[in-house]
Structure 1
Amino acid sequence: MKSLEEWFEEYSDSHQNPTNQKIHKVAVPGIFFSVAGLLWLIPSFSIFGYSIAPYFLILAMVLGFYFSLSFRAFVVMAVFSGFCTMVLLELQGIGANILIISVVMFVVLWVLQFIGHHIEGKKPSFFKDVQFLLIGPAWVFHFILPLTTDDEIE
């Protein structure tokens, strides 16, 4: 399994251009939020009398991925995920159309991402490995709070 540092190094190869980096620093967290919004809308289901929300099930798997790479990455992404959840609760509470908000954000931000990669002159990393879709958000937050340290899980 690759370390978080190895993932970041490989991800950085196609994110060298300063304009592309700026686009990603805005678009990647927004896309993460928009996907969270779409997952939020999947109805809960019941198993053995227990109601299960797919949003939290998928979020647990995503956070497990980050935990397997770095405790710091797990904490930072858990905090950001909690923030996304609180915003979604607020939007739901005021009756906002989460579907429209999420779809518009998703489309607009992905268009920006592809513009950034056109400027960069390189394909997005996820064309090589879909796991880069989860590396991108950690890479963005790594600029704010370093996520790779000696505490990485081997």
Structure 2
Amino acid sequence: MRRIDELLTNYSNDHQNPANQRMHLVCVPLIVWSVTAMLWCIPVPESLLKPGFWFAFALFFTWMYYWKLSKPLALGSLAGFLVFGFINYALAARFGIDGLLKIAIGVFVVAWIGQFIGHKWEGKRPSFFTDLVYLMVGPLWTLSKLYKKTGIAI
């Protein structure tokens, strides 16, 4: 069995309740976006780079890990990362870096509350309590659900 199949199967085993699955399909992308937005807000010396450097740096290494696991899922995550970058850029332009950071923190907290509510419904602990790698697998699991609905192989 491929590593990605094993990870997705294990993650799915902790997410059988349909209400918890729906909660994750909403909250996981919100958490990923909020993390990208917080990375966007990390200050960088203006003479070196522009805002968003840490966003690009971290997402590159995340994407490389995803590429190793599944090229189709990595390509889908890249598209999502690009969309998140445009959203971050637009929100930072509209509200400033401090505004973007406040929005991201708020979304992060609310989305994690949603995740824990979903796991309360599920009656199981979140997967990352077993292994932190599942923090990286959650977004791929969400994307794999979309792929299955559209007939894209992972």
Residues 33-75 of structure 1, C-alpha deviations (whole Å, 9 max, x = no match): 00111111112258xx853822211111100110010110110
Q: Partner letter of residue 112 of structure 2?
A: W
Structure-2-length-normalised TM-score: 0.88
- Which is richer in helix? 2
Runs (4 or more) in structure 1 with deviation over 3 Å come to 49-52, 146-149
1:144 shift after superposition: 1.2
Indicate which of 105, 108, 116 corresponds to 2:107: 105
Structure-1-length-normalised TM-score: 0.88
* Alignment of structure 1 residues 50-61 onto 2, 5 Å: 51=49, 53-61=53-61
1:7 shift after superposition: 0.5
CA distance in 1, matches of 2:4, 2:45: 34
Q: 1:28, 1:137 within 8 Å by CA — same for their partners in 2?
A: yes
CA distance in 2, matches of 1:57, 1:67: 15
Q: Partner letter of residue 10 of structure 2?
A: E
Matched residue of 1:90: which SS?
helix
Match of 2:144 in 1: 142
Unpaired runs of at least 5, structure 1: 150-154
Aligned residues: 147
**Root-mean-square deviation (Å):** 2.0
**Are residues 104 and 50 of structure 1, via their aligned partners in 2, closer, same or farther at CA, if it must alter by over 3 Å?**
closer
